[in-house]
Chain A
Amino acid sequence: MAEYDEARATLSVKVVYYGPALSGKTTNLMRLHDILAPELKGELMTLDTRNDRTLFFDLLPVGFRAPSGLLLKFRLFTVPGQVAHDSTRKSVLSRADAVVFVADSQRNQSVNNGESFENLAHNATVVGLDFEQLPLVVQFNKRDLPDVLPEEEILARWGRAPWPVTFASALAGQGVVETFAALLARLYSSLDARHELAARHGLAREAFVSAACGGTVSCC
């Protein structure tokens, strides 16, 4: 649930990058930190271990001011993907406003992707999120690796799902901004419905997306 602080004129939005272990959630945040050029960009706080496993979370804050002066702050979190850290995953997922599900495109990861997605749906319900209404984008990462599922196969399988599917090679920085932009476009609807972004803060969908991404990407 986005936190609106009227006195400070701040709307703080929580975005969670979810997915199986080693699917590239932290890499998404690192590349966003490199590429995004919004008005405001904070430091990337990472808490990974020696072998690149996220133990608790990563956090990247980005933001911009609406024409009304409202500060829109996006706090991008990652969860630890390893099965053992389910309790930590639940706590990080708690109060999320939107979720990017980062799947591993490699053929041999299909089962892990499926299990992790089911885990997301289950935990979302456990922490009190309405999974049906939750803005969600599914990103198939690691497109640069050799033995990956072809895009047509993925689209055939996910095409009928209500969530947009994006493709990315996060290590190379490809598709991470597009994924974030796709999520912002969906997120806008729920934020606008609750906080009247267009009516009270003069913020239309396109402006919302491009301001958050730093004008490098247009949405929709």
Chain B
Amino acid sequence: MLLSTEEAFDRRPELRALLEGLPRGQLARALAALCGEDYCLEDDSGTPLVCGTAWRGGDGGNRAPLEHELEIVGWLCLGPRSPVAAQALVPMLALLLLAAARYRMTAALHVAAIQEDYRVLLEKHGQLAQSEERLRKLSAELESRVQEQVAIIERAQRQLYQTEKMASVGQLAAGMAHEINNPIGFIRSNLVTAGGYVQRFAQLADAARRGDGAAVAAHWQRGDMDFVLEDFAQLLQESIDGADRVARIVADLKTFSSVDTTEDALVDLNQNLRSVVHMAQAQFGHVRIELDLQPLPRLSCHPGRLNQVFLSLVQNAAQAVADGGVVRVDSASSGDAVRVRVHDDGVGMAPEVLARAFDPFFTTRAVGQGTGLGLTVSRDIVMAHGGRIDIDSAPGRGTTVTVTLPLARGRGA
């Protein structure tokens, strides 16, 4: 049920309810004007509803039924002094009742419809609120899921960087070991020879202490001391050179020991390039690595990370060329940026390989030979410096990688 019975627009029309829809005072005045004050409107059970001031019960008067919707809903009762018969007023009153009923029914139906509209609106509102709540929950969940994924990606990326760093350092270490082993080998051999020479000098010293000039001369002759003297000096000089080489390698390595420091430094990149090339040269003996460095303004950067980039590029270049191939590293300044180029005359890249060169884990080398991360990480590092990295390559024509680093711009991420 939409409405309770007393509110329903189609309820049985009672005279009392119908009269409430009419201006009561006006009805009374109109009746009094027509038939004097000696009148009364009763409902169908005889209860007086509207009576004139002179109404005394209607003895000797007359009455007529008021019909509405086929039923008698009340009576018009007139006293004996009324100038008109009750029946004469009935059509007018019926018309009034019809108008009143029409108004009451319409008003009640209107209210019912409005209430129903409102109920439907509330229902829809409730559904909307529910779906909004679902969306809100979903979006909150989405936020946390995205954060979760971002955390996973960031963790994976840190692992990637670490992997690439370990791989390049590992390759480097293999080259370094060889390079340090070499001088150590000949220094030790020289020292053993020098030990033999010292024994000959000891024998010569014995003869000299005794003042035996002939024995000294004999020993000198037998020990080929002219050669020993000459060779000893040569041997020492060789060993000093070897020690210097080791010292230089250690110094270069020290440059790389700054990989994990996080502070920026103001550096001349040419020095870094020299270190990098030294180390790469040590690793790739069969390749000639040339340097062509122009004076550079000092650049605020993370030197350790850029070393990693340049070493990675030079290693790539060296691996691309055959024995006797040439890798050239040059640097130049264009006023607002520093440009470093690593060029090789090696095999070059096909367009489809070039297109994927920066993709993580993309590698053309055999399993275990490359991580497929060198260029990925290099690009990230260069972009973090606000710079860019470009590759120009074609099969058989070699490859040129250009790194451009702005002087003015601060580092990004």
Question: B110 contacts which of A14, A56, A59 (Cβ < 8 Å)?
Answer: A56
CB within 8 Å for A57 and B1 given contacts A5-B12, A14-B10: no
Kindly specify which of A89-97, A169-177, A190-198 makes contact with the partner chain: A89-97
In the complex, which residue of chain B has the Cβ closest to the Cβ of A77? B10
| Interface residue tally for chain B (C-beta within 8 Å) | 24
User: Total A-B residue pairs with C-beta atoms closer than 8 Å?
Assistant: 71
Question: Is there an interface contact between A91 and B71, defined as CB atoms closer than 8 Å?
Answer: no
A61 close to chain B: CB less than 8 A: yes
B120 close to chain A: CB less than 8 A: yes
CB within 8 Å for A95 and B70 given contacts A57-B109, A88-B109, A88-B113: no
B6 to chain A, nearest CB (A): 13
B104 to chain A, nearest CB (A): 11
CB within 8 Å for A87 and B120 given contacts A71-B70, A73-B70: yes
B317 to chain A, nearest CB (A): 76
B3 close to chain A: CB less than 8 A: yes
Measured in the bound complex, the distance between the Cα atoms of B116 and A91 in whole Å is 8
A52 close to chain B: CB less than 8 A: no
Q: At the interface, is chain B mostly helix, strand, loop or mixed?
A: helix
Kindly specify which of A38-46, A106-114, A206-214 makes contact with the partner chain: A38-46
Per-residue interface assignment for chain A, residues 36 to 77, with 1 indicating a CB less than 8 Å from any chain B CB and 0 otherwise: 000011110101000000001101011100000001010101
B119 to chain A, nearest CB (A): 8
A12 close to chain B: CB less than 8 A: yes
Chain A residue numbers with a CB within 8 Å of B10 are 14, 75, 77, 92, 95
Question: B1 contacts which of A47, A56, A85, A94 (Cβ < 8 Å)?
Answer: A94
Q: Could you say which of A10, A14, A56, A77 has the most chain B C-beta atoms within 10 Å of its C-beta?
A: A56
Question: A3 contacts which of B2, B12, B105 (Cβ < 8 Å)?
Answer: B12
A interface, CB within 8 angstroms of B = 3, 5, 8, 10, 12, 14, 40-43, 45, 47, 56-57, 59, 61-63, 71, 73, 75, 77, 85, 87-88, 90-92, 94-95, 127-128
B112 close to chain A: CB less than 8 A: yes
17 of the cross-chain contacts (CB-CB < 8 Å) are: A14-B10, A40-B70, A45-B98, A45-B101, A61-B70, A62-B70, A73-B71, A77-B10, A87-B112, A87-B113, A88-B113, A90-B116, A91-B3, A91-B109, A91-B112, A92-B9, A94-B3
Beyond the given A56-B109, A88-B109, could you list 18 further A-B residue pairs with CB under 8 A, ordered by the A residue number?
A: A8-B71, A40-B70, A41-B70, A42-B69, A45-B101, A45-B105, A71-B71, A73-B70, A77-B10, A88-B110, A88-B113, A90-B2, A91-B2, A91-B112, A91-B116, A92-B9, A94-B2, A127-B1
